[in-house]
Structure 1
């Protein structure tokens, strides 16, 4: 008796499974998004003082940044504050800089 198998056709519907896993992971990641927190003037003044102090004495800082619904922490030394484009330039590694907009800063902690 010969085996009558459909061969590759029976596995054809399973070809979408990796795509389904990717879509599910993206859906769960989107559910973790948060709206941008509102900061009052006192918090902004404290950030300004911490940034000025860290820049004056070349101290490392941890800056909490809001980025498209997620928060991330950037550690480095403040190299330059650009008042025209409203950005901070932070040296995260020797010779490697990262720019952060003032409006995206959620917290500044000085590390000593």
Structure 2
């Protein structure tokens, strides 16, 4: 039998906590990684060749830039998908809370508690 009452409220609050305090922040981490990859020191300096070896730009620079661009795109796509998932979890939690008054009270109590705990985290 599915949970109801306070037990459902606990389940809903855990869904909220996972979406708000785990999945959405993880999406931000993926965005930050993409940003850092884009802002990495100019690799052109690292991939240059002496003029006696054929010129300024070595053969590794273009493949590296292509790889970097693909990685940035994957990181940003993953971040968007994770943020959408986290938001869907929040919507689901709110909608489930509307189905049971006892669950909604427990959900609201735990949600406030989770938010306070998260605010204390560095």
TM range, normalised to the smaller chain?
A: 0.3 to 0.5
The structure that is helix-richer by fraction is 2
Bigger RCO of structures 1 and 2 (CA < 8 A, at least 6 apart): 2
Query: What's the TM-score, normalizing by structure 2?
Result: 0.31
The structure that is strand-richer by fraction is 1
